[in-house]
Structure 1
Amino acid sequence: YTLYLAISHTNLGLLLSETGDNQGADRSFHEAIHLQEELVAKSPDDAERHRNLAVTFNNLSAIYLASNPDKAQTCYESALAHQKLAVASQPRNTAFASDLAATYNNLGSLQSQREDFSAAANSYDQAIQLHQKLLQADPSHKPYRHDLAISFNNYGLMKSRLQDPSAAEQAFQRSIAIQEALVALHPDDMALRSSFGGVYNNLGIAFEEQRRLEDAAIAYRNAVEQQRVAYLRAPGVTRYRIFLSKHYFNFGRVLRQLGQPDRAAQIAIQRRELWPTDGERLFSVAEELAISCRDLQTSPGKQELTAARASELTIETLQQAIHAGFHLSPDVVDDEPFSALRDDQRFLRLVKH
């Protein structure tokens, strides 16, 4: 009877949470936890009861994430304690180990949001160790491989935040190696391909932090290639377009640092194609083009694009931004990115009108 009552309270808590009644969900989950703790006390060696109690703690943490991160973290830690007992009781049970790894990832995400990057790195490292053991037990299981790749990526992000770009690079490379194999096996999985592109982008950032700009450019180019496939194959998925835009932006920035403003301008034009009706993003592209124009004026060299052509593209993009509803402030004349256009009458007319 106690078990079924606990299940009823848990289900009610989930329903109330879905309808936005977090207070009601809080009460229901606490009722379920109280009953489940009684069951665990009666059968402390019952791994399934520990697992069920951990699930309820995880459900409770979800309603605290935005409003009370301290309570959310306490819930995750309680879930971990019971999941560890379940794993210790049945070390060969892959479902228990997978649950434990997932909670470590959730805890790491919360710790990252709270900017406790060292603790988050430790949580992701715990998840990595569990995923590696799961993968050893079943090397062909796609979710285990993907989860391991994501954990390596998350660990790399924390190492980057901790100013350890070398460790971040190693983690991203491990993630890329796993995801490359997965993409080869599942070429039509666009979520996987998008994730693959995202890790290349993170690797590019790690290279930039080490001032390895050539390597960063290669990483960003790979990020663009993978994310572009996802976007073209699934144009209705908004996040793929947003990610691709970010990869283009990063790629262009590094190309300018490498003294290739003409290539950077070409990348900016590709980014422009993603946002034909978004005034703010079109203005951002115009800024990039204006910077390339400035760099081409100061170091023309043997470039594929002239400064004059870059200025034309900048004006054209600003016109598109205005047409899309962007308000061009008169102060833009004094903005450093547009310094090369301060004497351009076309630019001044746009600002004036």
Structure 2
Amino acid sequence: MLGLRPAHSGDDTASILQQVNAGGIKPLRQLRRDLPRDLETVIAKAMSAHRDQRYDSASDFADDLRRVLANEPTVARPPTLIDHIVRHAAKHRTAVITTLLVGSLVLAGLAIGTTMLAAEKQVSDTLLIQAQHDRAITREAVDRLGMQISELLADIPAANSVRQRLLSETLDYYKQIAAAEVIDDRDSQQRIDLAVAYGKIGIFQSELGQSADATASLRESERLYGVLAQDSPDDADVHLQWSISQNNLAERLAQVGDLQSAAEWFAKAIATQKRLGNNVELAKTLNNLGGMLSDAGNVSESQQAYERALALIDGGGRGNESVPDAGTRDLVHYEERTLQSTIRSNLAGLLAKHDPHQAATLARQSLQYQLELLAKDPGKPKLATQVMLTLNTLADTQTQIGNHASSVESLRQAVEIGRQLHTRWPDQPSYRRDLAISLNHLGLSLSALGELNQAQSVLQQAAEQGRALLEVYGDSAEVQNMLGGILNNLAFLAGRIGDRHTASLLYEDAIVHQQIAIDLAPKILKYQSSLKTQQTNLKQLRGES
């Protein structure tokens, strides 16, 4: 109303949502020079694209508007230079991030150069302290670029290629830091910095698909923290970070199929976190352990891990830690509720076949919270993805109960979300994968209802999405396994319809992809189990014993 025009214009919902998702509105005083600058600032805060930058309540918004009328200072402040950089990072992704990358590399070069010169020339203590201070500032800047802006770009699917480049450049920086570091065994902060550096190297390598290198880096980070913990037996923070490094290493080992080693590292992390009384980190580790046990087919122990994790969060979260201030407390509450929702969804997926009624209750609880978040921030694709995956879990429980009609309805909602995400961001592979999974489940539910032609059409769409994904991720064991499963389901349906020739070809194709998955990840037992199922189905089709 103040600008005498809509804040976002467009001919359809999609184009308007795209503008909203990009963030930012045209400043009011560019439209109306007669408006007070404070009013412009207040409106801009109220309409921020990010929830945590808006007013906490309508009352706070009203109070600031009253201050404008009374010509008093407002809570809202004009955006800082950093605010402008973040907004431009979302709006002009490639140009701005490339500039930031160049800046980070210049800073990195200066920091490493300064440190090495300080060591080589043995400058005075004053200059050495200054060099260390400069290095700390540089690392903080690169951390913001590599981690925080990377997380920002993770919510902007179109910026995926830029994010990959940013991760790669940040990884190179940390490698240089680790290589150039001259460690004084008496300087605990230097040793902590090196442990942190290797931990971040491992995380970046994992994000970039460098599996073996990631495992080696995470092992080195854990080793360095272990030495620090031995030297500082009473330093709770060092011991907590040590346990987190053990959890990270365990997750990586589980991903590559080394479940025995992963279980050992999870156990070490859990023991330390229990001793420290940090319930949130302990719940995270137990959730990760539950996922590994679920993948290994150990339902009973997986359920115990998930239920222990939920009990820790339900019981008050942070255990023996000090009480945070109000702002931190809100953030902690959000993180704990989000973790609680994730654990419930994981437990629901585990129990779908064994206790579908309890699983359905858990899935609905998780879905309710996710929908609340999505209603507050409808332009966030990550939240939409979480809703989509929980709908799949809910549908699985409905299928197990025998309510196939409800399952079909849940899955159609999931597929619709998946199609919207994939249509808006066709180059984001995770959206194609999630859509393929939802289509596969929908095909199975339609088949259970006797809608065989519809089921066949939907499964064919799932297979198309899976094959398209292989063009980019042909060396991904999980993608090969996913396509093998879809083709097996499509073959079984073709056999039901009576097309035995097509069914035979599809089973053969499924077996090829499943064998590739096993070759890529020979330690993951579920891949071998799926192969045996497909081979048995083909033999039965051919009438072989």
2:441 alignment counterpart: 154
1:311 alignment counterpart: none
User: CA offsets, 1:169-214, max 9 Å, x none?
Assistant: 1111001101111112222112211221211110011111111212
Kindly provide the amino acid, as one letter, of the partner of residue 483 in structure 2. Answer: F
Kindly provide the amino acid, as one letter, of the partner of residue 420 in structure 2. Answer: K
1:120 aligns with 2:410: no
Contact kept in structure 2, 1:207 and 1:215, CA below 8 Å: yes
C-alpha separation in 2, matches of 1:157 and 1:139: 25
1:59 aligns with 2:343: yes
Offset at 1:119? 1.9
Contact kept in structure 2, 1:29 and 1:60, CA below 8 Å: no
1:82 aligns with 2:366: no
State how 1:281-320 maps to structure 2 within 5 Å: 288=545
Kindly provide the amino acid, as one letter, of the partner of residue 222 in structure 1. Answer: D
Deviates more, 1:222-231 or 1:63-72: 63-72
Contact kept in structure 1, 2:466 and 2:483, CA below 8 Å: yes
Kindly provide the amino acid, as one letter, of the partner of residue 56 in structure 1. Answer: Q
Deviates more, 1:221-230 or 1:197-206: 221-230
C-alpha separation in 2, matches of 1:180 and 1:62: 27
CA RMSD of superposed structures (Å): 3.3
2:535 alignment counterpart: 248
Offset at 1:84? 2.0
Contact kept in structure 1, 2:357 and 2:397, CA below 8 Å: no
C-alpha separation in 2, matches of 1:68 and 1:197: 27
State how 1:88-103 maps to structure 2 within 5 Å: 88-103=375-390
User: CA offsets, 1:130-174, max 9 Å, x none?
Assistant: 111111221111111111101111111112222222121111100
1:218 alignment counterpart: 505
Contact kept in structure 2, 1:10 and 1:56, CA below 8 Å: no
Deviates more, 1:17-26 or 1:206-215: 17-26
- Superposition TM-score, scaled by structure 1 size: 0.59
2:397 alignment counterpart: 110
Kindly provide the amino acid, as one letter, of the partner of residue 202 in structure 1. Answer: N
Structure 2 unaligned blocks of 5 or more: 1-277, 290-300, 318-329
1:164 aligns with 2:451: yes
SS state at 2:498 partner: coil
Contact kept in structure 1, 2:356 and 2:398, CA below 8 Å: no
C-alpha separation in 1, matches of 2:338 and 2:522: 39
Structure 1 unaligned blocks of 5 or more: 1-7, 34-45, 257-263, 265-287, 289-353
Pair 1:249–1:85, CA change in 2 (3 A): same
Contact kept in structure 2, 1:53 and 1:79, CA below 8 Å: no
Contact kept in structure 2, 1:48 and 1:86, CA below 8 Å: no
Pair 1:71–1:240, CA change in 2 (3 A): closer
- Aligned pair partner of 2:524 in 224, 228, 237: 237
1:195 aligns with 2:482: yes
C-alpha separation in 1, matches of 2:500 and 2:279: 56
Kindly provide the amino acid, as one letter, of the partner of residue 242 in structure 1. Answer: S
C-alpha separation in 2, matches of 1:59 and 1:159: 29
Deviates more, 1:69-78 or 1:133-142: 69-78
1:173 aligns with 2:460: yes
Offset at 1:57? 3.4
Contact kept in structure 2, 1:50 and 1:85, CA below 8 Å: no
Pair 1:76–1:47, CA change in 2 (3 A): farther
Kindly provide the amino acid, as one letter, of the partner of residue 407 in structure 2. Answer: A
Pair 1:151–1:47, CA change in 2 (3 A): farther
- Superposition TM-score, scaled by structure 2 size: 0.40
Deviates more, 1:123-132 or 1:224-233: 224-233
Kindly provide the amino acid, as one letter, of the partner of residue 517 in structure 2. Answer: A
Contact kept in structure 2, 1:54 and 1:78, CA below 8 Å: no
Offset at 1:79? 2.5
SS state at 1:185 partner: coil
Contact kept in structure 1, 2:459 and 2:486, CA below 8 Å: yes
Pair 1:69–1:31, CA change in 2 (3 A): farther
